[in-house]
């Protein structure tokens, strides 16, 4: 009720200063008139009566001003007053202000930086029209753990005909192409797309046109391309007449019909055969794939839900269609279903858990910073009792004082926020590495408006959060006591002390949760790094070469090229051995298919024996140092001629030939229309191909004649530093064919590091935040203990005068501090137990409740806290009792 009155008065006041002043004026004039009238009644002449009334009234303007201020019209004025006063108070104690502002800057800065990534990745609208309705479409097989399998274009044609939930469905397929003519030959990430893809995404070219259905007429070779803004700038210098120009792709001329706008990107990294977003698009016809038995599952698909159709309804419809296809084509579709994934989840799914964990972590850091500053303010409030008592005696109400103190803390937090913003500005560039490459680029994480709003809100909230308790505490003035008594012997109010105890326990608890979280991540990362990839990654250099089909039309010619290239590389000085492989570990997505084993019944429809397939030459296992466990590897003759032999890995032997010797067995790997059996001649060790974590997949190694790839990766083992071979190796390739683009010249260790880069960076960040939390907590404990020792100086002096030894005093102070710390450690352990579960999906080889991590970090925190208590305690113990007792 009262609040309502105040509010309505404030609102009225805000509505118009004029109206309020007019009201006050009229009332005061009324008063004067009445006074004058009374004077006249007493017998004064009217003129004199009026003057007398004015005289008794005093300074009319100042009365009016004071009245106006009370009526709330002075809200802004008092605020300014408060801010000025607060500024003076902060400037008077530069040390305190600097420590507090820096503490807050660390907290706010970390939050701003992480939030800027969260905003760009998880919150900002995706740059496609109706992005909320776009879903990525996968197939899934119930015998496989992975729910996202590439799709069959033949199945897609049936979905498109039958599904009513979508207003547009498109297929796309990443495929690097080599771009020649005008300048260096270059391997360009390209994408084959059904012509409607751009319309589905709602993005128009900035120049020229998008594809039309005519561009992908069945039976017609694609002759037109759409290029990216970046490629247009790079290859054509941004020439405005680029439309109609010809580029040579894989040796075939194509005419440019459109340029996509700057920033347009369409890349679904999961299951893509490329590692970078496409810069060039070619129209794709699905007609050649309509015979499902002849083409496998290899493409990606996307669809846009019709307006008003919810995801679950669309999913239900797709389930029905999948069921229909299962019974219609049991050999091909038995056991296969369809998974719809909203675009946002697809693009940010892999990074989302880690980002949220980091956001939580910086939240904790900010809370700890708040607790620290609150503690500083509390300690200072004890010293400000007199000032506050005087202001209160001068007529300032409690609310007024609380408001003043809060203004001070908000000013402080804004100062910290501004510093934090600088910190974030500086660190945000580094954080770009966190963002998923299929979603946003380096330029798109930054301090934009939403981020600035977040920082402002975080600062204001922080100021109130850490300022409220100290302000309420400080304003609880015992007027006469405070004015009367000096600070002598005052150990601070017991309330204030209890509050500080609670704050210490809280910050210790928060720090421990963070430490345990980071500790788990670090242990998991160390485990991951220790995983043996199954080959020796040191001293390996890789380079990829894709042969254009125009100049290398038949397999024999391509094969001859690679044999020559490997031979040439092998002769380079410093090269121990060289080899070519279809898809190198960690450098590319692999090929996988199904197979049957001779003499065993085929698996029932809907199930299959699955294996990865790689095509290698005779030097591969020696170059990679993959051990041979049984039998032998390929001879040069087997690699050159089409002998039906293969080598398998240990996982294959374990999964499909348990208790048997696979050497001599014959398997049929389905890679063509008419697969033929091949004989297993050897078993080699398991090598990891995609990720260090996860299960090892069965693998079949084939020779090139059985499956000729026109794009292969060359790998060479150097005697010394592999990087020094990069230039000679490139020259050796181009000596054979000067128009060939050589891509991805880098070390094997570089590939492996890249596969872990984001995990490493996330772990590093979390560890840094935990360390920050530990430091802040230690500083906080130190500050409170120092303050408490100073306040108890007198008592300590008395104790020492009564015979307490230095050791007793030391123990007294440490015990007091450590007791609070241990409460915090207990709370922190409970909190960590509850919270680290959210990490489990990010952990490798370590449990989310790993007792060793919990215990060792609790010990570390206790030890650090002990030091933070010990230093002030030693000061206390060293004090001269005479001085201590006189301490004022």
Partner 1 sequence: MARKKEDQKADLLQGTLDMLILKAVSLGPLHGYGIIQRIRQMSGEMLEVEQGSLYPALYRSEQRGWVSSQWEKGETGRRVKLYTLTRDGRAQLEVEEASWDRLALAIAKVRQAT
Contacts to partner 1 by CB under 8 A: 1-2, 5-6, 9, 24, 26-28, 30-31, 33-35, 56-59, 62-63, 66-67, 69-72, 392-393, 395, 397, 476-480
The Cα-based distances of 392 to 68, 395, 400, 401, 490 in angstroms read 21, 5, 9, 8, 21
Q: CB-side exposure of 240: number of CA atoms within 13 Å?
A: 0
CB 483 → partner 1: shortest distance, Å? Answer: 11
Nearer to partner 1, 75 or 556 (CB): 75
- CA gap 290, 278 in Å, rounded: 25
CB 17 → partner 1: shortest distance, Å? Answer: 15
Specify the DSSP element, H or E, that contains 298. none
Nearer to partner 1, 52 or 753 (CB): 52
Q: Which of 710, 708, 728, 709 is nearest to 718 (CA)?
A: 728
Nearer to partner 1, 387 or 679 (CB): 387
Nearer to partner 1, 79 or 883 (CB): 79
- CA gap 884, 569 in Å, rounded: 82
Nearer to partner 1, 34 or 430 (CB): 34
Nearer to partner 1, 28 or 456 (CB): 28
CB 6 → partner 1: shortest distance, Å? Answer: 5
Nearer to partner 1, 33 or 723 (CB): 33
Nearer to partner 1, 209 or 400 (CB): 400
CB 768 → partner 1: shortest distance, Å? Answer: 45
Biggest CA-to-CA distance, the chain: 137
Nearer to partner 1, 237 or 395 (CB): 395
CB 449 → partner 1: shortest distance, Å? Answer: 38
Q: Which of 289, 322, 286 is nearest to 137 (CA)?
A: 322
Dihedral pair phi/psi, residue 98, rounded to 5°:
-65, -45
**Beta bridge mates, 151:** 299
CB 506 → partner 1: shortest distance, Å? Answer: 25
CB 20 → partner 1: shortest distance, Å? Answer: 10
Specify the DSSP element, H or E, that contains 870. helix 851-878
The Cα-based distances of 477 to 381, 386, 466, 481 in angstroms read 11, 9, 20, 8
- CA gap 136, 345 in Å, rounded: 9
CB 792 → partner 1: shortest distance, Å? Answer: 24
Locate 333 and state its tokens: 């579709």
CB 469 → partner 1: shortest distance, Å? Answer: 17
CB within 8 A of 656, min separation 6: which ones? Answer: 597, 609, 662, 698
CB 408 → partner 1: shortest distance, Å? Answer: 22
- CA gap 96, 94 in Å, rounded: 6
CB within 8 A of 64, min separation 6: which ones? Answer: 21, 24, 25, 28
**Beta bridge mates, 175:** 190
- CA gap 31, 190 in Å, rounded: 87
CB 30 → partner 1: shortest distance, Å? Answer: 6
SS3 at position 693? coil
Nearer to partner 1, 37 or 833 (CB): 37
CB within 8 A of 775, min separation 6: which ones? Answer: none
CB 871 → partner 1: shortest distance, Å? Answer: 36
Q: Which of 773, 760, 765, 763 is nearest to 514 (CA)?
A: 773
CB 390 → partner 1: shortest distance, Å? Answer: 13
Nearer to partner 1, 57 or 426 (CB): 57
Nearer to partner 1, 497 or 644 (CB): 497
Tokens 């771009």 appear where?
Answer: 179
Contact between residue 684 and residue 698 where contact means Cβ atoms under 8 Å apart: no
Nearer to partner 1, 398 or 632 (CB): 398
CB 505 → partner 1: shortest distance, Å? Answer: 25
Nearer to partner 1, 385 or 820 (CB): 385
Nearer to partner 1, 258 or 492 (CB): 492
- CA gap 32, 28 in Å, rounded: 6
CB 60 → partner 1: shortest distance, Å? Answer: 9
The Cα-based distances of 442 to 91, 117, 433, 437, 449 in angstroms read 40, 11, 8, 9, 18
- CA gap 729, 715 in Å, rounded: 10
- CA gap 129, 326 in Å, rounded: 34
Nearer to partner 1, 397 or 694 (CB): 397
**Beta bridge mates, 545:** 712, 742
Tokens 């009229």 appear where?
Answer: 26
Contact between residue 305 and residue 166 where contact means Cβ atoms under 8 Å apart: yes
Specify the DSSP element, H or E, that contains 791. helix 748-791
Burial of 646 (0-12, 13-18, 19+ CB in 10 A): buried
CB 387 → partner 1: shortest distance, Å? Answer: 16
């Amino acid at each position: 009720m009262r609040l309502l009155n105040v509010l309505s008065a404030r609102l009225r006041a805000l509505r118009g200063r004029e109206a309020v002043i007019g009201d006050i004026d009229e009332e005061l004039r009324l008063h004067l008139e009445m006074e004058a009238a009374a004077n006249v009644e007493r017998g004064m002449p009217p003129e004199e009566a009026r003057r007398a009334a004015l005289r008794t009234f005093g300074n009319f303007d100042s009365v009016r001003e004071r009245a106006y201020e009370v009526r709330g019209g002075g809200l802004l004025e008092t605020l300014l007053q408060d801010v000025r006063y607060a500024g003076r108070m902060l400037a008077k104690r530069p040390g305190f202000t600097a420590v507090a502002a820096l503490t807050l800057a660390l907290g706010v800065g970390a939050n701003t930086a992480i939030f800027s990534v969260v905003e760009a990745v998880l919150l900002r609208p995706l740059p496609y029209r109706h992005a909320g309705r776009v879903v990525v479409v996968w197939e899934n097989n119930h015998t496989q753990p992975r729910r996202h399998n590439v799709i069959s274009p033949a199945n897609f044609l049936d979905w498109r005909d039958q599904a009513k939930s979508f207003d547009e469905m498109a297929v796309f397929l990443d495929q690097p192409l080599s771009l020649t003519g005008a300048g260096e030959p270059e391997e360009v990430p390209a994408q084959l797309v059904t012509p409607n893809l751009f319309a589905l995404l709602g993005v128009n070219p900035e120049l020229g046109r998008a594809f039309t259905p005519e561009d992908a007429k069945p039976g017609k070779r694609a002759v037109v391309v759409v290029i990216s803004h970046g490629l247009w700038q790079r290859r054509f210098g941004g020439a405005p007449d680029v439309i109609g120009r010809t580029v040579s792709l894989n040796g075939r001329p194509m005419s440019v019909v459109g340029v996509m706008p700057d920033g347009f990107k369409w890349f679904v990294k999961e299951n893509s055969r490329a590692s970078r977003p496409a810069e060039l698009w070619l129209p794709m016809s699905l007609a050649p794939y309509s015979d499902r038995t002849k083409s496998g599952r290899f493409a990606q698909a996307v669809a846009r839900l019709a307006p008003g159709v919810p995801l679950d309804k669309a999913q239900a419809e797709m389930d029905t269609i999948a069921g229909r296809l299962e019974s219609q084509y049991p050999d091909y579709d038995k056991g296969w279903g369809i998974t719809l994934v909203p675009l946002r989840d697809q693009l940010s799914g892999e990074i989302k858990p880690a980002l949220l964990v980091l956001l939580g972590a910086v939240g904790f850091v900010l809370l700890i910073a708040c607790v620290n500053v609150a503690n500083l303010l509390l300690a200072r409030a004890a010293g400000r009792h007199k000032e506050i008592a005087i202001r209160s005696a001068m007529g300032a109400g409690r609310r007024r004082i609380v408001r003043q103190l809060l203004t001070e803390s908000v000013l402080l937090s804004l100062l910290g926020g501004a510093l934090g913003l600088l910190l974030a500005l500086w660190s945000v560039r580094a954080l770009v590495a966190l963002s998923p490459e299929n979603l946003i680029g380096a330029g798109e994480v930054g301090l934009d408006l939403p981020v600035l709003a977040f920082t402002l809100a975080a600062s204001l909230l922080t100021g109130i959060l850490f300022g409220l308790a100290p302000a309420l505490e400080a304003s609880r003035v015992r007027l006469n006591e405070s004015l009367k008594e000096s600070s002598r012997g005052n150990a601070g109010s017991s309330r204030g002390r209890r509050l500080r105890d609670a704050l210490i326990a809280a910050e210790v608890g928060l720090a421990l949760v963070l430490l345990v979280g980071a500790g788990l991540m670090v242990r998991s990362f160390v485990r991951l790094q220790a995983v043996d990839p199954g080959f020796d990654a040191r001293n390996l250099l890789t380079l990829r070469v894709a042969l254009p089909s125009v100049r290398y039309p038949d397999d024999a010619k391509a094969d001859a090229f690679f044999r020559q290239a490997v031979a040439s590389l092998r002769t380079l000085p410093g090269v121990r051995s060289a080899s070519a492989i279809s898809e190198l570990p960690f450098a590319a997505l692999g090929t996988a298919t199904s197979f049957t084993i001779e003499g065993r019944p085929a698996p029932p429809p809907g199930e299959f024996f699955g294996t990865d397939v790689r095509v290698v030459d005779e030097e591969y296992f020696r170059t990679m140092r993959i051990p041979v466990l049984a039998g032998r590897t390929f001879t040069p003759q087997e690699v050159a001629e089409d002998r039906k032999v293969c080598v398998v890995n240990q996982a294959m032997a374990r999964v499909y030939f348990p208790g048997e010797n696979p050497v001599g067995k014959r398997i049929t790997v389905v890679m063509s229309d008419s697969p033929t059996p091949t004989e297993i001649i050897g078993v080699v060790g398991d090598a990891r191909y995609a990720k260090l974590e996860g299960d090892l997949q069965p693998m079949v190694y084939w020779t090139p004649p059985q499956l000729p790839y026109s794009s292969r990766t060359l790998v060479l083992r150097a005697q010394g530093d592999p990087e020094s071979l990069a230039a000679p190796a490139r020259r050796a390739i181009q000596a054979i064919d000067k128009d060939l683009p050589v891509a991805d010249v880098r070390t094997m260790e570089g590939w492996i590091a890249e596969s872990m880069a984001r995990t490493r960076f996330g772990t590093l960040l979390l560890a840094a935040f935990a360390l920050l939390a530990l430091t802040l907590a230690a500083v906080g404990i130190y500050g409170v203990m120092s303050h408490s020792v100073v306040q108890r100086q007198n008592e300590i002096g008395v104790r020492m005068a009564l015979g307490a030894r230095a050791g007793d005093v030391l123990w007294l102070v440490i015990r007091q501090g450590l007791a609070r710390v241990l409460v915090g450690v207990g709370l922190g352990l409970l909190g960590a137990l509850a919270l680290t579960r959210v990490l489990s999906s990010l952990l490798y080889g370590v449990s989310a409740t790993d007792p060793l991590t919990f215990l060792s970090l609790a010990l570390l925190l206790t030890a650090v806290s002990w030091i933070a208590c010990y230093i002030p305690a030693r000061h206390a113990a060293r004090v001269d009792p005479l001085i201590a007792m006189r301490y004022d």
